[in-house]
Structures are given as C-alpha cells and as structure tokens.
Amino acid sequence: MDNEKLGTAIVITSGKGGVGKTTTSANIGTGLAMMGKSVVVLDADIGLRNLDVVMGLENRIVYDLVDVVEKNCRLKQGLIRDKRFEKLYLLPAAQTKDKSAVKPEQMLELVGELKKEFDYIIIDSPAGIEQGFQYSIAGADQALIVTTPEISAVRDADRVIGLLEAKGVYNPKLIINRIRPEMVKKGDMMNMEDISDILAIDLLGVVPDDEEIVISTNKGEPAVIEGKSLAGKAYMNITKRIMGEEIELLNLDSNNESTFNKIIKLLFGK
Amino acid sequence: MEFLKFFSRKQENSKEVAKERLKLVLVHDRSDLSPKLLDMMKGDIIRVISEYADIDKENMAIKVTKMKSEKDIAPVSALVANIPIIKIKDNKKSAI
C-alpha cells in the first residue's frame, strides 16, 4: 500500500430540479474548505452549467469536465482555484455539450483520480434520473438528497433514493431546504420529522428559506462564507456534520422568533 | 385518538393532506411490481387461500413496501398481505 490519501466523494442529488442542489454543493464545498479541507466541487450538469456562477468563478473557466474526461487537457488544468480559499477548486461542466459526453466509467476514473489528491469531492448532479444522474453517482461514496417540503420534491427524492440503492449507494442522508418555520407552525408545511419519516432516511440538516441565499447568489459568494444568515449557519452545521461532528439541528419549530434567535445565539455564539 | 381531533379548534391542516397523499403515491412508486402483475398475483393468492378458508375479499389488502433489513444495509422489498379470514374450511384433505 502507498500512502496516497483517499478522499470521500459525495454526490448531491434530488431528482427534482430547482430544489437547491447547486446552492447546497457550493455551500458545502466552501464550508469544508473553510474548515481546512482540500475540496473539489464538480459541476456534473453538462449543458446547464451553474455552479461556476454560484461560486463566483465564471470568469476563470478555460477547460471543463468534458475536456478533462476526453483528455484534451490535464486534470490539473481543468481545475479552477477558488479566489477565497486556496484548497478549494471547481471543475466546471461543459456548457456546449450534452449529457451523452460523459460515461459512468469515465466519471468513475476521474473521481478516483481526484480522491487521491483531495479530502472531499462534491459532485453537483443534474436534475432528473437519466444519463446525467447515472454518471454523477458513478464514483460517489456517499449521497446527499436535497428536497424541499413539497409533495413533488419529496416524491422525486424517494425515487432517487431507490435508484441509488439499486446502484449500490446506500444510506443517503437528507437535506431539507427552504423550510418556512411560520408555515410549519401553522401546520401548512411538512416539518423535518414528517419528511425524514416518510423517506426513511437520516436527516443531515435543515436549511430555512432565506432571502440571503438570493443575495449571496447574486454576488457569487456562498452564504456560508459570511456566515451570519440563518441559511449560512445551517450550511456550516451541515458541513461540520459531514466531518463527523455532532451538532444539534436548528430548532425551527420554536414558538416565537425571539426564542428562536436566542437558541441560534446559544448554539453559534454572537 | 379521534376525539382529540374533535376538540382541536382547526380543521385538518394542509400538511396532513400532503402527508396522506404523499404516502399513497409512494406506495405505488415504490413497488417494483406493475399494478397488473400485482393484480394477477392477488388473484392467484386468493384462489389458493380460498381452498382452505373463506376470506373477506372486500377488506383484504396486498401491497409491496420497502423495509429496512436488520442484517443488510440495503433495504428489502416485502410483500405485505392482510387477508381477513371469515371461516376455515373443513377440507377434504384432512390435516396431516
């Protein structure tokens, strides 16, 4: 055995589009880098590239995932270094190709190479369950399922959990995005227990619906960096749980806003 | 527990509606069997059991669910049948 490091590849997937996979990938990847880990965030959404703009790295792209896979460039040339964290890299998707440009075996090989160099490989999967999903999960050791508290998103999440199992990716963890505590309180939105019970998988974290996400996406700066917003804090918690820390879930069912804020302050300081 | 609902001031929350609808739709989504195959299987099961007992066909339920296996990390599919028996038949083939 050699003493190469062997990182962990985590695919972020959902089935349904628009639930926050890319935002989640950007925040978790950045969060891990903030904790001192070496990270590649890999945009697997060929043809609909977006992780670059969410990370604020769109102006630096020269090569992309397809160039790397087809060996038009070396792996190192395809990786774009983040402007804030030196151990954080982006491997952007190709924008002018389609999902047939990458095969699962190629992805498996690529992720295998990346795992020798980095602690974490975060794979931002495209929506859907076709080719793009199939190659996205090919090299993954773990899967995180992103859903929102809506019937359609939860249903698709359930389908994806089944497909992951069929491919040998077991024990996916759940991230519930865009929870609105006031609607949960009124009984007009499924809460985290409802959703994790129905899907029968472990909950990794809950991210509240937060305007700050829109603002941070506008700026190309993942919310976890500034870290003051609720969503930013939720993503940092998720990051730490991925690293094995035990951190309590945000109490979003709290009776009033001020108690809620107090708990946040207790948990995070400030 | 029904009486508790009676005393609660609100009518059913939309979240409960969502949960019920979701659970129902997932039962179908999760079964690897097509509804047609499941129906055929149900017919055969009824036929076999009817040789031994009168069953309540109106209130029987046969479905496929996923459950966590104790040994394995991969969940397994399980055929769950709830077949109310009205009366055991005095079978011509006497037991043993």
Reported as a single tens digit per residue, the pLDDT across B51-90 is 999 999 888 888 777 666 666 555 667 788 899 999 998 7
DSSP state of A138: T
Contact A174, A147 (CB under 8 A): yes
Alpha carbon separation from A173 to A40, A72, A206 (Å, rounded): 20, 35, 11
Instruction: Tell me what pLDDT residue A3 has.
Output: 56
pLDDT band at B37 (very low <50, low <70, confident <90, very high): confident
Instruction: Tell me what pLDDT residue A136 has.
Output: 98
| Cβ-proximal residues to A38 (8 Å cutoff; 6+ apart), any chain | A7, A87, A88, A117, A118, A119, A120
Chain B residues whose CB is inside 8 A of the A171 CB are 73
- Rounded Cα distance between B24 and A121, Å, is 36
Q: Using alpha carbons only, what angle is made at residue B67 by residues B65 and B70, rounded to the nearest 5 degrees?
A: 160
Instruction: Tell me what pLDDT residue B95 has.
Output: 53
**Max CA distance (Å), chain B:** 60
Residue type, A114: L
Report the percentage of chain B scoring pLDDT > 70: 69
Instruction: Tell me what pLDDT residue A264 has.
Output: 63
Q: List the single residue in B16, B19, B75 with the smallest CB-CB distance to A198.
A: B19
Average model confidence (pLDDT) across chain B: 78
Instruction: Tell me what pLDDT residue A262 has.
Output: 59
Q: What is the ipTM of this complex?
A: 0.81
Place of tokens 């989504």: B29
Strand pairing class (A142-147; A8-13)? parallel
Instruction: Tell me what pLDDT residue B65 has.
Output: 72
Other CB atoms within 10 A of residue A86 CB: 10
Q: List the single residue in A162, A171, A189 with the smallest CB-CB distance to B15.
A: A189
Does any CB of chain B come closer than 8 Å to the CB of residue A194?
A: yes
Instruction: Tell me what pLDDT residue B90 has.
Output: 76
Q: pLDDT tens string for chain A (270 positions)?
A: 455 679 999 999 999 999 999 999 999 999 999 999 999 999 999 999 999 999 999 999 999 999 999 999 999 999 999 999 999 999 999 999 999 999 999 999 999 999 999 999 999 999 999 999 999 999 999 999 999 999 999 999 999 999 999 899 999 999 999 999 999 999 999 999 999 999 999 999 999 999 999 999 999 999 999 999 999 999 999 999 999 999 988 765 544 455 566 566 666 654
Q: Between A54 and B42, where is the model more confident?
A: A54
The phi, psi pair for A207, rounded to 5°, reads -115, 120
Contact A195, A150 (CB under 8 A): no
Does any CB of chain B come closer than 8 Å to the CB of residue A215?
A: no
- Rounded Cα distance between A116 and A8, Å, is 10
Does any CB of chain B come closer than 8 Å to the CB of residue A171?
A: yes
User: How far away is chain A from the Cα of B15, in angstroms, using its nearest Cα?
Assistant: 5
B14: left (phi over 0), alpha (psi -120 to 50) or beta: alpha
- Rounded Cα distance between B96 and B93, Å, is 8
| Cβ-proximal residues to A223 (8 Å cutoff; 6+ apart), any chain | A27, A210, A212, A213, A216, A229, A231, A232, A235
Does any CB of chain B come closer than 8 Å to the CB of residue A200?
A: yes
Helix (H, G, I), strand (E, B) or coil at A19: coil
Chain A residues whose CB is inside 8 A of the B66 CB are 162, 200
A19 marked as binding residue = yes
Instruction: Tell me what pLDDT residue A133 has.
Output: 97
Contact A207, A222 (CB under 8 A): no
- Rounded Cα distance between A41 and A21, Å, is 12
Closest CA in chain B for residue A169: B74
pTM: 0.79
pLDDT band at B17 (very low <50, low <70, confident <90, very high): very high
Instruction: Tell me what pLDDT residue A254 has.
Output: 45
- Interface mutation vs chain B, best among A129, A142, A194, most B CBs within 10 Å: A194
Does any CB of chain B come closer than 8 Å to the CB of residue A190?
A: yes
Here the tokens at position A96 are 């002018």
Instruction: Tell me what pLDDT residue B8 has.
Output: 53
Instruction: Tell me what pLDDT residue A191 has.
Output: 94
Closest CA in chain B for residue A201: B68
Instruction: Tell me what pLDDT residue B5 has.
Output: 52
- Rounded Cα distance between A14 and A163, Å, is 11
Instruction: Tell me what pLDDT residue A256 has.
Output: 46
Q: Is A155's CB within 8 Å of B25's CB?
A: yes
The phi, psi pair for B86, rounded to 5°, reads -85, -45
- For residue A200, what is the enclosing H or E element? none
